[in-house]
Amino acid sequence: MVKEICATLLTLCSSFLSGFDFTYTDNKQELFVRGIAECTISVNQEIPPHTRVPVLISIAQAILESDWGKSRFAKEANNFYGMIETDETEPHLKALNSNVLIKSYGRKCESVSDYIHLLNSASHFKDFRDERVKQSMITREVDYDKLIETLRPYAVDPFYVEKLKEIINLLQEEYFRG
């Protein structure tokens, strides 16, 4: 009986997420922040607590990777995290000036879901997962600096982590006070 209830809830949550979307405009950064936050919360509610990605980190990476949702990949492909596509038969955009394929999503929240899945499964982010578990089990507080340090493999930019930390500080000051 419990399995059936859990399966039903998972199905309902998945259908909610697949139908959930948000809108934003280039001149309303708070709409972008709110949209990414709502998607992250929705995805996080579907997965075990120890696998959830902190909302501020999800927003910060979306801001950095998509220039607040203004990038071509964000506008044309609903891709806020620079997610790469390796299968040419799957929906994608081709990056300008390179042969890199960028994943294309039907809905914005699908990009957030894929990003969270990447952090929870790719070998590059094992340190992120280990630090997240350590924080959730031992300190029970999110240490953004320590978690962000584990995200260096996400980009080739040597200043990526420092940029993420700056964005987290901005988000805490401007959008998530108190």
Is the pTM value of this prediction over 0.75?
Answer: yes
Q: pLDDT, tens digit, for every residue of 146-174? A: 999 999 999 999 999 999 999 999 999 99
3-state secondary structure of 94: strand
Burial (0-12, 13-18, 19+ Cβ within 10 Å), 115? buried
Residues 132 and 119 sit within 8 Å (Cβ to Cβ)? no
Question: What is the C-alpha to C-alpha distance for residues 98 and 165, in angstroms, rounded to an integer?
Answer: 29
Amino acid at 151: L
The phi and psi torsions of 84 (rounded to 5 degrees) equal -90, 145
Residue at token pair 């350590």: 134
**pLDDT tens across 82-136, in order?**
999 999 999 999 988 889 999 999 999 999 999 999 999 999 999 999 999 999 8
CATH no., domain 2-174: 1.10.530.10
DSSP letters spanning 103-147: E--SSHHHHHHHHHHHHHH-GGGHHHHHHHHHIIIII-S--HHHH
- What share of the chain in percent tops pLDDT 90? 72
Average pLDDT, the chain: 88
